[in-house]
Amino acid sequence: MTTTDGTTRRGRVRIERGTKRVRAFLGGEVVADTARPVLVWEVPYYPAYYVPVEDVRAELRPDGPGPHSPSRGDAAAYTVLAGGREAPGAGRRYEDSPIAELRDLVRLEWHAMDAWFEEDEEVFTHPRDPYTRVDILASSRHVRVEVAGTTVADSGSPRLLFETGLPVRFYLPKTHVRLDLLIPSETVTHCPYKGRAEYWSVRAGDGVQEDLAWGYRTPLPESQKIAGLIAFLDEKVDVIVDGVLRDRPGTKFS
């Protein structure tokens, strides 16, 4: 089904034509360079980029049958060769897909590439969803965070981060956090909107709860307002805002 806004939906897959110039690199060489990418929501949380086959510059060596998708059909897998490097199975085509828009496109495995760019800015983790917005606002709400009955943070000057599809996150100054209860973790994650996050576990009650807090030392330019602040996973801690205990949200991070 094609909607009035030019997107296509079949089953749980949504397809939309993009307008950004998108490039993928492997071994220092351009694998694909297109100004007409196609965004395909294979999962609800974020899209994947599909590239017109004529905009693929790297060699694609057939690997045989790829995975089957109930909505997209049977894929053929390809090794991507560029810059003296090989990425087995990193290319995928759905030439006989029941979704006509996919038949002349190549799906490149995001993490098999060395780098991706939207226009001239490098993008990490996955393509940016054009329908995701991040707003960061200063607030004077009083926020207290408890873990196993222990207050681990107490602040009257949080930054509130509103991200489409997720609960509000409360980012707090480090001076308002019990840093003596935080244990640095080896966990690192990346967000295409905020950047690289480092994590802490929290020592409270009778033990240590892993990866309950995180922060961005050097966030991406659009998220500079949370630089050096700490947030807690609301799904697993108690957050009291202006004296009212908030319900723990249910998300993919629960």
Dump pLDDT digits (tens) for 10-19: 556 899 999 9
Which distant-in-sequence residues (6+ apart) come within 8 Å of 120 by Cβ?
none
Each residue's pLDDT tens digit, 37-72? 999 999 888 999 999 999 999 999 999 999 999 999
Radius of gyration, CA atoms only, the chain: 22
pTM for this model (two decimals): 0.82
User: Cα-flanking dihedrals φ and ψ of residue 118, to 5°?
Assistant: -105, 115
Residue 80, pLDDT above cutoff 70: yes
Q: Where are the domains of the chain?
A: 8-123, 134-245
DSSP-assigned letters across all residues of 191-233:
ETTTEEEEEEEEEETTEEEEEEEEEBSS--GGGGGGBT-EEE-
For 117-143, the pLDDT digits (tens) are 999 999 999 999 999 999 999 999 999
Instruction: Summarize pLDDT for 194-228 with one digit per residue, the tens.
Output: 999 999 999 998 899 999 999 999 999 999 999 99
Q: How far apart are CA 52 and CA 102, in angstroms?
A: 9
Q: Which residue has the higher pLDDT, 254 or 248?
A: 248
Nearest Cα neighbor of 76 from 41, 56, 102, 49 is: 102
pLDDT band at 5, cuts 50/70/90? very low
- Distance from C-alpha of 251 to C-alpha of 98, rounded to nearest angstrom: 32
Percentage, residues of the chain above pLDDT 70: 95
Q: Tell me the pLDDT of the chain averaged across its residues.
A: 93
- The fold of the 8-123 domain, in CATH, is 2.170.150
Check: CATH 3.40.50.2300 for 134-245?
no
Q: Helix %, strand %, coil % for the chain, to 5?
A: 10, 55, 40
Please identify which residue in the block is written with the tokens 């800015």. 121
Place of tokens 């806004």: 5
Check if 8-123 and 134-245 are the same fold.
yes
pLDDT of residue 4: 35
Q: What is the pLDDT of residue 11?
A: 53
